């Protein structure tokens, strides 16, 4: 009988004892933060906003440099460094408020971006005194950090994962086309007027200028042809305003000084012309009549301009 009672008691104890939890049944303690050991915080701290932060944001703590109603003078300030996987402490500085109280400005920048909304803490830290005061201790401060973009999108309706860029505003092109046509027409008209003026100028010069007419006559003649020599002689006579011969070349250069660069060539032409038509009938050597006429036409054309 005693053995049966003992077996029943053991069975009852087995059924009422708590069963061990599996890994899936354990509560999620990832967001839990252990309480810092040691003395409690004793500093007056103005904490930053605890929520709505993303990578790159700077969180500012303001620590009153006062302890037990006495000014607190810190030892050399902590250096700028990483204070965990999410935060980096920047260079500390001291600022004086309008009421004369001194505040230590501590800035912490978020240097990582989570994939989902998460929480972390600005860790507790302390300042050692420069003299025999107590240590100034700042508490840990919880904050939340949000991702820049969601890990997944809804993917339905207008909530697609990627959205197209905003369409560029339409620009009225009809006025631009009209302006292009107008300016193109004005340009074409200007070119046409210039071409017409140039052609008229060339036609007028070939009809009125002596060496231009001589050049037109020489196109079908060679340098040995008597007609070529006669054409160039007529151009000299028209330029001088009288019939020229070798002794009257000074009158030619006085009447047309722009021909002076070809003075020596003109003298040779007249000398060989006298030899050809009034001497033996043949020049001592062949003379480039058309080349001389082209040079004289170039000087004549430059003088026209």
Residues 120-133: tens digit of each pLDDT: 999 999 999 988 88
pTM for the model stands at 0.41
- Taking alpha carbons only, the member of 105, 121, 104, 38 closest to residue 67 is 104
What pLDDT does residue 148 have? 86
**Regions of the chain where pLDDT drops below 70:** 1-38, 151-164, 205-207, 280-285, 305
Compute the distance between CA of residue 103 and CA of residue 121 in angstroms, rounded to an integer: 22
**How far is the CA of 242 from the CAs of 188, 251, 269, 297, 303, in angstroms?**
45, 9, 18, 19, 20
What pLDDT does residue 112 have? 93
Compute the distance between CA of residue 161 and CA of residue 166 in angstroms, rounded to an integer: 15
What pLDDT does residue 160 have? 63
- Taking alpha carbons only, the member of 268, 55, 14 closest to residue 145 is 55
Residue 118 zone, left/alpha/beta (φ > 0; ψ -120 to 50; rest): beta
Compute the distance between CA of residue 279 and CA of residue 184 in angstroms, rounded to an integer: 64
Compute the distance between CA of residue 269 and CA of residue 233 in angstroms, rounded to an integer: 10
What pLDDT does residue 83 have? 93
Compute the distance between CA of residue 80 and CA of residue 83 in angstroms, rounded to an integer: 9
| Backbone φ and ψ of 54, nearest 5° | -135, 175
Q: Please, are residues 130 and 74 in contact by the beta-carbon 8 Å criterion?
A: yes
Instruction: Show me where the domains of the chain are located.
Output: 45-145, 178-206, 209-304
What pLDDT does residue 19 have? 37
Compute the distance between CA of residue 149 and CA of residue 162 in angstroms, rounded to an integer: 11
What pLDDT does residue 305 have? 60
């Amino acid at each position: 009988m005693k053995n049966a009672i003992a077996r029943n008691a053991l069975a009852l104890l087995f059924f009422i004892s708590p069963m061990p939890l599996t890994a899936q049944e354990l509560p999620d303690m990832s967001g839990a933060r252990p309480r810092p050991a040691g003395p409690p915080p004793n500093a007056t701290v103005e904490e930053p906003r605890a929520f709505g932060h993303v990578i790159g944001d700077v969180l500012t703590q303001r620590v009153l440099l006062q302890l037990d109603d006495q000014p607190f003078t810190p030892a050399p300030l902590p250096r700028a460094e990483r204070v965990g996987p999410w935060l980096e402490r920047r260079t500390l500085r001291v600022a004086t408020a309008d009421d004369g109280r001194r505040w230590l400005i501590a800035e912490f920048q978020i240097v990582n971006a989570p994939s989902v909304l998460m929480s972390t803490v600005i860790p507790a830290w302390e300042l050692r005194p420069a003299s025999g005061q107590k240590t100034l201790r700042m508490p840990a401060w919880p904050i939340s950090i949000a991702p820049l973009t969601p890990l997944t999108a809804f993917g339905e309706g207008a909530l697609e994962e990627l959205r197209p860029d905003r369409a560029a505003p339409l620009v009225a092109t009809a006025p631009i086309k009209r302006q292009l046509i107008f300016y193109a027409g004005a340009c074409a008209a200007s070119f046409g007027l210039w071409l017409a003026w140039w052609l008229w100028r060339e036609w007028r010069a070939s009809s009125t200028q002596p060496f231009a007419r001589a050049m037109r006559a020489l196109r079908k003649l060679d340098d040995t042809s008597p007609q070529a020599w006669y054409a160039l002689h007529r151009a000299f006579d028209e330029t001088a305003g009288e019939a020229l011969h070798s002794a009257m070349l000074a009158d030619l250069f006085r009447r047309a000084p722009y021909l002076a660069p070809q003075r020596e060539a003109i003298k040779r032409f007249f000398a060989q012309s006298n030899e050809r038509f009034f001497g033996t009938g043949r020049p001592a050597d062949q003379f480039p009549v058309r080349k001389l006429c082209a040079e004289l036409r170039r000087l004549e054309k430059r003088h026209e301009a």
